[in-house]
Amino acid sequence: MRGVPVSARRSAYADQARAAVAEAEQIAARAAARAGAEWRPGLENATAARLVRELNGRAMFGLPTCGHLPASPGVGWWVAWSPELMRCGRCARDVLVATRGTSEDNRCDGCGRLVGLIHPAILQGGAVVITLGLCSDCEADR
C-alpha cells in the first residue's frame, strides 16, 4: 500500500494538535489583553473550572460547530453564554458583538444572575479558547 505510514500520519496529527494548542494560547493571551480581561492559563477559579468541565462533557458527545472549523486540529472558540456550538474566531466575535450592550451582557456565566459588574475572562483549554463573564462572587470563588 502506498502513502504515508500510519505512525508518521499520527505524529503529523500530533504536531498539528500541538501547534493548535500553542495558537490557542497566543490567541487567548492577545484577546484578553485587548479586552482588558484577565487571562487565566490555569484553572484556579472554581467556577471557571466547572465551566470547562461542562465544555469537556459537551465536547465528548461531539459539539456541533459553526461550520468553519478545519477538519484537521485547529483552534476552536467556546463562548460560555452560547455553549451549543464550537465556533471559529469570526463566529465567536459575532456572538460577542451581538451580546454587547444587551442585558445578557450582564448575566454571570457561573450563577446565571444579572449583575452590575461582569468580569470578563478568557481561558485556554487545549486547542479551545474559552470566553466567559463572571460576577464578583463567582470571580472570587477559588
- Residue 116: count of CB within 10 angstroms of its CB: 7
20 touching Zn ion, by CB under 5 A: no
At its nearest, how many Å lie between Zn ion and the CB of residue 74? 11
128 touching Zn ion, by CB under 5 A: no
Phi, psi of 79 (to 5 degrees): -100, 120
- Distance, in Å, from the CA atom of 57 to the CA atom of 80, rounded to the nearest integer, reads 13
Residues 136, 84: contact at Cβ < 8 Å? no
138 touching Zn ion, by CB under 5 A: yes
At its nearest, how many Å lie between Zn ion and the CB of residue 126? 19
Question: What 3-state DSSP class applies to 50?
Answer: helix
At its nearest, how many Å lie between Zn ion and the CB of residue 26? 19
Binding site residues, Zn ion, CB under 5 A: 66, 68, 88, 91, 108, 110-111, 135, 138
